[in-house]
Amino acid sequence: MSFETIKYEIEGGIATITINRPEVLNALNLQVLRDIIGAVGEARLAEDVKVVILTGEGRSFVAGADIAQMKNFSATEALEFADLGHEVMRQFETLPKPVIAAVNGFALGGGTEIALGCDFIYASSKAKFGQPEVNLGIIPGFGGTQRLARSVGANVARELIFTGSVIDAAQAKRIGLVCEVFEPEALMEKVREKANLLQSVGPLAIAAAKRAMDKGMDMALDAACELEKQTFVALFGTEDQKEGMTAFVEKRKPSFKTK
């Protein structure tokens, strides 16, 4: 499958999606969103892909939406754009494989939202985050009002969204938005190290944990814990559970089969 606005590469079990519009700082338009959805679909079907990395070409991750395209949207066109953005998030969140955002530069507006849709965010020390949509007379449209609060807490999210403030990578780490910050030249190497670590553990277990955590966020605690219990028990019917525990007892590295 070929893509107009992204690069899609697979190496060593890792699929890397690189948004490739550096001339406009990788701003999101309709085609970018469609291409990301297509690439995640490819990664979903590829048995050799265990982890997905999302990043941007050049000095930006995603500097926001393509305002030149958006400014004349009708309400109907805005709905199509928002629907596509939410579908990107749904694809990330339902993918039974870890998704890592490697934020190499500006991640503003839709850039922060897309990073929030990933399972982990690692950032370059030059990265910038923010939801500045209020400065354009709108609000976040890809889930930012919801996922940011779930990530950093309601008070911090309100401050960032209501003021349209932009923060650096160090502050993003302090508030819990970012897992770790690396120097720009080391970012992708470090992210690949994280991706390789994720490949060494049980893939069915990761998929189950991801599903339980995502679904549990919208449940009462008792119901969420029941979901966890049922998911935990179900894994005892898998070959991977038998292999993982046998390998532990035998003091060897497990060989998981995703079965």
Alpha helix positions (H), 217-257:
221-234, 239-249
CATH architecture assignment, domain 203-249: Orthogonal Bundle (1.10)
Instruction: Give the N- to C-terminal CA distance of the chain in Å, as an integer.
Output: 28
- % residues pLDDT > 90 (the chain): 96
CB 132, CB 108: distance < 8 Å: yes
Quote the CA–CA distance of 161 and 246 in Å, as a whole number: 49
pLDDT of residue 203: 92
Q: What is the mean pLDDT of the chain?
A: 96
Please give the distance of CA 95 from its chain centroid, rounded to a whole number.
10
> pLDDT tens-digit profile of 42-68?
999 999 999 999 999 999 999 999 998
Q: What is the pLDDT of residues 228-247, one digit of tens each?
A: 999 999 999 999 999 999 99
Domain range list for the chain:
6-199, 203-249
Neighbours of 245 (CB within 10 A): 12
Question: Which amino acid is it at 207?
Answer: A
What's the pLDDT at 58? 95
Element (H, E) at 158: helix 154-163
CATH 3.90.226.10 fits 6-199, yes or no: yes
Active site residue 133: yes
**131 contacts 144 by C-beta, under 8 angstroms:** yes
Residues with Cβ < 8 Å from 40, sequence gap 6 or more? Answer: 17, 52, 88, 91, 92, 95
- Options 9, 57, 80, 113, the catalytic residue: 113
What is the residue whose two structure tokens read 């992708």? 188
| For range 135-150, the mean pLDDT | 96
110-124: pLDDT as tens digits: 999 999 999 999 999
Judging by DSSP bridges, how do beta strands 166-168 and 128-130 pair with one another? antiparallel
Return the SS3 of 139.
Answer: coil
Mean per-residue pLDDT for 85-106? 97
| pLDDT bracket for residue 22 (50, 70, 90) | very high
In angstroms, the Cα distances linking 30 to 52, 88, 145, 193 are 21, 11, 21, 32
Residue 1 reports pLDDT greater than 80: no
Spatial separation of the C-alpha atoms in residues 16 and 51, rounded to whole Å: 9
Q: Please tell me the predicted confidence (pLDDT) of residue 184.
A: 97
Catalytic site residue from 42, 133, 243, 250: 133
- Asked if pLDDT for residue 2 goes beyond 90, the answer is no
The pLDDT value recorded for residue 37 is 97
Span 183-230, pLDDT tens digits: 999 999 999 999 999 999 999 999 999 999 999 988 999 999 999 999
Amino acid sitting at position 196: N
Annotation says 113 is catalytic: yes
